[in-house]
Amino acid sequence: MPMDVRLLYHTPDPQRSIAAAARLCYSPVGAADLLESMSDEAVRRVLKTVISSGHTSTLEHASYTFAIDGVSRAMTHQLVRHRLASYNQQSQRYVAYDSEPVFVVPPSVAADPVARAAFDDACATAFEAYRAQLDAGVPAEDARYLLPNAMETKIVVTMNVRELLHFFELRCCRRAQWEIREVALAMLALAEPTAPYIFMDAGASCRRGPCGEGKMTCGDPYPKAPKRD
């Protein structure tokens, strides 16, 4: 199956939730009152202040959960390096593959018939060896050592907004590996409409200022994001 990224759910009214938590720091009334009583204008004002001042712990009060299917183990290995998130992934211990396996083929390989043939061959050989181990009674948790990084998998991830923004900065960047970048761009496209004022300048650092990659820059910056009014 091709890559499929879905936003399963998120904190209701994420912008208002974050603004209420932030406003509480300076308010005689509680967050429940603020959640109801703040005007939309006040929500924007507070969000602008917390984001521009770096008071970003307040962004941890809203979380997003995504289902990511049809991606490679090479991708999920990079994803789970982001520690301030929660994950569950299809297990290669408890799910033994007996049907036709699916392998994610990188575009560079797909574009080159010779590389593609060698790639398909290597995946098929590895899978055959895996199946032979299972048939010989080796448990799936051990037979899986033979499965390639290209093996397709599914993962669910929950991140709060502070971590999401950090993740988008690193992984929407053109220097990020293509598959995790596609996942990050899809996640951003899903999150942005739910909290447009927060995510309006999310993504690679070049959207907001100079490239964070320094000498390693790709030299092809994204267009600058609009400034928050």
Ligand X SMILES: Cc1cc2nc3c(=O)[nH]c(=O)nc-3n(C[C@H](O)[C@H](O)[C@H](O)COP(=O)(O)OP(=O)(O)OC[C@H]3O[C@@H](n4cnc5c(N)ncnc54)[C@H](O)[C@@H]3O)c2cc1C
Give the range of 79-87, 128-136, 150-158, 199-207 binding ligand X by CB under 6 A: 79-87
171 is known as an active-site residue? yes
Give the range of 5-13, 57-65, 170-178, 183-191 binding ligand X by CB under 6 A: 170-178
Contact status: 84 vs ligand X (CB under 6 A): yes
Q: Smallest Cα–Cα separation from 190: which of 9, 34, 55? A: 9
Inter-residue contact 170 to 164 (CB < 8 Å) = no
Inter-residue contact 184 to 176 (CB < 8 Å) = yes
Spot the catalytic one: 23, 73, 162, 171. 171
Closest contact distance (angstroms) between CB of 16 and ligand X is 25
Q: Which of 170, 183, 195, 206 binds ligand X (CB under 6 A)?
A: 170
Q: Which of 55, 81, 93, 227 binds ligand X (CB under 6 A)?
A: 81
Closest contact distance (angstroms) between CB of 130 and ligand X is 27
- 173-192 residues near ligand X, rule: CB under 6 A: 175-176
Q: Which of 83, 137, 209, 220 binds ligand X (CB under 6 A)?
A: 83
Query: With respect to ligand X, which residue has the nearer C-beta, 43 or 63?
Result: 63
Q: Cα-flanking dihedrals φ and ψ of residue 149, to 5°? A: -60, -25
Catalogue the active-site residues.
Answer: 171
Task: Name the residues that contact ligand X, by CB under 6 A.
Answer: 81-84, 163, 166, 170, 175-176
